[in-house]
Amino acid sequence: MNGSLLQTLRTRDALRITSIFGGVLVPALRVGVSFAVPIIALLLAGRLDLAPFAALGAFTSLYCRVDPYPRRAWLLPVVAAGLTASVAAGAVTSAFDAGGVVKVLVLTLVATLAKLLADVVRLGPPAGLMFVFAAGAAAYSPQTWSGFAEVVAITGASAALSYALSMVGGALHPTGPHRLATARALLAVADHLEAPNAAARRRAHTALHHALTALPSGERRTTVLLRGHLAHALHLLHHPADAAAELRTAAKRMRRGRVPAPGQHRPLPRPVVAERAGLAEFRTNALRMAVASLVTGLLASTFQLDHAYWAVVSVSSVLQSHNTATTWQRAVQRTAGTVAGSLLALGIFAVDPTPATILVVIVICQIAAELVVMANYGLGLTFATPLALCLAALSQPTDRLQLVAERVGMTLFGALLGVGVCLVLTNSRARTRLREALEGCRRAARDLQRSPADPQAREHLLRALFALRDAHQVAAGEPLHPHHGDQEVLDTEHEAYRLLAATTAPAGRTPSG
């Protein structure tokens, strides 16, 4: 157990900088515009008091950065409505002049529901965090019933603008997200070809699966070409060859907007439908979020600080994870990023900026955070922390040194408590789910052995393989469950890949489109 605990609480993974191919600059600029436009409009209208709520609505643009436009079309309205509802819930508690306990209960409810939503629909970064931040910012800033409608309206309007800006690219480059997903898959396969190992193969297979689920159905020329490249990459995954340079060249051309014809003609893969998990898989994570948010909020509120909700935001941030190991990594990143960002904020406050200057800083910090957050969450926090402090300074002027100290203290407190709750509330379901996934993968492998030409048997094994991978990822990060099954998982995966390679269809012609 001690060895497993030390393995779980290692910091090496938290400090790793991830290289991101494409999908960084344009989303960051889009986020900057989403923040700047409503803030400038309020500045010109002389209503700077509403600027923090415009920023909360603009958080909509943080989601679905590179998702296909059909997914954005239904998911971003859910995010926009959730952020607006979170602000409304927080504003109600403030307008009622509710006590700290009531505010904590509201934040706990928002945090738990947001965590469930993020897990079930695979919302992606920043997951349910911004809903908690929005509710807390509204609850802990002065509100009146006369101004309630304005607060909710400006949040909703800003969220709607962010949605529109996130969708406008669909008219300019509708295949952009598909090209990016395919390019990333080709690069992942190229990495595996150059340095083959189990981890690289998993990453390549996952990237290919993501690209196939992102592609639309139909026979449009670009879609057919992309599927042709994925078919070739899938073949290389199972039958390695000296083709890494070829894949990298094709990926770079796709990123620039051109989709070349695939070098090899192979049978096109069938469309893949992304599966959604049920609520049962996420009960432990939801329970951890509820308990940690409640305990953290109640303890923080006893100090009667102006921004006690920051502790709940911190614990919510580190618990936007799938196991204890990733919670610990996020705790390390959040603490380090907050300390660095607080030092940056002190430098900003030292020049005594005007409210207009603070608004400019908010936009710049948000763009900077978006440029680096996917590489490392801690780097993103280095710029997100001054943004949060500037928003707090606008909505509720106070001693700025005290503000910074409160931010650091609440962040450290919430992060450590989140890790502690994970260690106490163990995920007893994780190993059971892993055993079930192992058996499911073996059954699917036997079915494919009996019917090697059956495409449904092949797809069943693919789904079972991804289920096994997800189950192992969760279980491997829980310290109170021994890792003696790791080799068994590797062996089962190896057998599955061997079968998939043996049943790969022979080369054929790519349909025209």
- For 213-237, write each residue's pLDDT tens digit: 888 777 788 888 998 999 899 889 8
Q: Average pLDDT of the chain?
A: 88
Token pair of 496, please? 């599955």
Band of the pLDDT at 276, cuts 50, 70, 90?
Answer: low
pLDDT of residue 4 exceeding 80, the answer is no
Token pair of 147, please? 């101004």
Band of the pLDDT at 507, cuts 50, 70, 90?
Answer: very low
Q: Which amino acid makes up residue 457?
A: A
Q: Which of 370, 399, 424 is the last residue of a domain?
A: 424
Rounded mean pLDDT, 98-115: 93
Contact 67, 75 (CB under 8 A): yes
Q: What is the pLDDT of residues 458-497, one digit of tens each?
A: 888 988 888 888 888 888 888 765 555 678 888 999 899 8
* Same domain membership, residue 477 and residue 337: no
pLDDT over 90 for what percent of the chain?
Answer: 54
Contact 223, 178 (CB under 8 A): yes
User: From CA 440, how far away is CA 464, in angstroms rounded?
Assistant: 6
pLDDT over 70 for what percent of the chain?
Answer: 92
* Same domain membership, residue 224 and residue 360: no
User: From CA 373, how far away is CA 380, in angstroms rounded?
Assistant: 4
Domain contains 316: yes
Q: Out of 20-34, 281-295, 394-408, which region has the weakest mean confidence (pLDDT)? A: 394-408
Say what the pLDDT of residue 180 is: 93
Contact 63, 75 (CB under 8 A): yes
Q: What is the pLDDT of residues 410-425, one digit of tens each?
A: 999 999 999 999 989 8
Using left for φ > 0, alpha for ψ between -120 and 50, and beta otherwise, residue 341 falls in: alpha
Contact 355, 48 (CB under 8 A): yes
Terminal Cα-to-Cα distance of the chain (whole angstroms) = 57
Angle of helix 283-301 relative to helix 309-318, nearest 10 degrees, comes to 160
Question: Residue 262, preceding bond cis, omega within 30 degrees?
Answer: no
Scanning the structure block, which residue is given the tokens 């079309």? Answer: 73
pLDDT of residue 510 exceeding 60, the answer is no
Domain contains 269: no
Domain contains 311: yes
Q: Which of 256, 271, 298 is the last residue of a domain?
A: 256
User: From CA 212, how far away is CA 217, in angstroms rounded?
Assistant: 10
* Same domain membership, residue 330 and residue 249: no
User: From CA 294, how far away is CA 301, in angstroms rounded?
Assistant: 11
Q: What is the pLDDT of residues 41-51, one digit of tens each?
A: 998 999 988 99
Say what the pLDDT of residue 62 is: 95
pLDDT of residue 505 exceeding 70, the answer is no
Q: What is the pLDDT of residues 341-388, one digit of tens each?
A: 999 999 999 998 988 899 899 999 999 999 999 889 999 999 999 999
Give the closest residue to 122 by CA, choosing from 80, 160, 73, 67.
67
For the question of whether the overall pTM of this predicted structure is more than 0.85, the answer is: yes
Say what the pLDDT of residue 9 is: 67
SS3 148: helix
Band of the pLDDT at 500, cuts 50, 70, 90?
Answer: confident
- In sequence order, the 6+-apart residues with CB closer than 8 A to the CB of 314 are 296, 334, 410, 411, 412, 413, 414, 415, 418
Q: Out of 14-18, 118-122, 501-505, which region has the weakest mean confidence (pLDDT)? A: 501-505
* Same domain membership, residue 203 and residue 158: no
Say what the pLDDT of residue 217 is: 73
Q: How many domains does the chain have?
A: 3
Domain contains 266: no
Say what the pLDDT of residue 48 is: 86
* Same domain membership, residue 59 and residue 144: yes
Say what the pLDDT of residue 178 is: 92
User: From CA 213, how far away is CA 223, in angstroms rounded?
Assistant: 12
Q: What is the pLDDT of residues 147-186, one digit of tens each?
A: 999 999 999 999 999 999 999 998 888 889 999 999 999 9
* Same domain membership, residue 287 and residue 179: no
* Same domain membership, residue 140 and residue 65: yes
Structural domain span for residue 473: 428-503
Neighbours of 148 (CB within 10 A): 16
Domain contains 275: no
Interior angle at CA 182, CA 181 and CA 183, nearest 5: 95
User: From CA 139, how far away is CA 156, in angstroms rounded?
Assistant: 17
pLDDT of residue 399 exceeding 90, the answer is no
Token pair of 168, please? 């406008």
Band of the pLDDT at 3, cuts 50, 70, 90?
Answer: very low
> Looking at residue 1, what DSSP letter applies?
-
Q: Given 3-state DSSP classes, what are the helix, strand and coil percentages for the chain, each rounded to the nearest 5?
A: 75, 0, 25
- In sequence order, the 6+-apart residues with CB closer than 8 A to the CB of 28 are 367, 370, 371
* Same domain membership, residue 181 and residue 169: no
Give the closest residue to 165 by CA, choosing from 13, 60, 12.
60
Domain contains 265: no
* Same domain membership, residue 162 and residue 72: yes
pLDDT of residue 28 exceeding 90, the answer is yes
Contact 175, 208 (CB under 8 A): no
Q: Which of 396, 424, 452 is the last residue of a domain?
A: 424
User: From CA 427, how far away is CA 288, in angstroms rounded?
Assistant: 10
* Same domain membership, residue 42 and residue 126: yes
pLDDT of residue 2 exceeding 50, the answer is no
* Same domain membership, residue 11 and residue 115: yes
Say what the pLDDT of residue 255 is: 84
- What sign results for the dihedral spanned by CA atoms 83, 115, 331, 162? negative
* Same domain membership, residue 198 and residue 166: no
Domain contains 274: no
Say what the pLDDT of residue 482 is: 55
